[in-house]
Amino acid sequence: SQFLRSDAADTSTGEILFDAGFKSDSILLSGAQNFDNISRSGFYNLYNTNVAGSTGSPGFDYGTMIVVGGNKQNSSFGLQIAHERTGSGMYVRGMNDSGATWYAWDEIWNSGNDGAGSGLDADLLDGQQGSYYVNTATAQSIAGAKTFTTTPISVTRSTADNSTYLATTAFVKNQ
C-alpha cells in the first residue's frame, strides 16, 4: 500500500519529514539486557538493567538512554548516550561502521561530577599540584639535593663575585 497505517505497525522505505516535531514514547528496558544489540534509534528508560547477565551496560541500574543507531542490517555507525537517574553520571559510547564493535563507555565530565575525588585531574600537571614545580618567575627555596644530568647553564659571573649564584664550570675552584 502507498499509505502508512497509524493503527498498526508499519514500515516506510523512504524519508518521512515531520515539520512540527514528533512524539515518541520511551522504550522500557528492564532486567538483564545486551546493550551491544541495542542499535535502533530511540529513547529508552533503563530499569534495573545493571544486573547479572547484562552485557555492555553503562554501569548503573536506573536511568535513560538515547540511541542514534544503525539501519536494519546493523551495518552503520552507532551512538548511545546514557544518563544515571540517581546521580549526575552521563556516559557515551560509539559503534564502528561495520556494526560489530561497541566501544567502552566514557563518562562525560560536567559541573555535577568534577572536583575532588572525581578522577579528573584537570587541576594537576602529571599528577602533581602546582606547588610541586619550581617557579622560575620569583625567588624560591628549593629543598633537597638536585642532580643535573647535563651541564647546568647559568649567567656567567665574574671570578671576583662571591655571590651564591650557581657558577659555570669555568669558575668552580678545585680545593
- Mean pLDDT split into 10-residue runs, the chain, 175 residues: 78 75 83 90 92 94 89 69 88 82 88 69 73 78 74 60 56 52
- DSSP one-letter string for 86-142: TSS-EEEEEE-TTS--BPPPEEPP-TTT-STTSS--TT-BTTB-GGGS--TTS----
Q: What is the pLDDT of residue 173?
A: 52
Amino acid code (one letter) for 6:
S
Q: What is the pLDDT of residue 30?
A: 96
pTM of the predicted structure, to 2 decimals: 0.59
Rounded to whole angstroms, the Cα distance separating 51 from 93 reads: 19
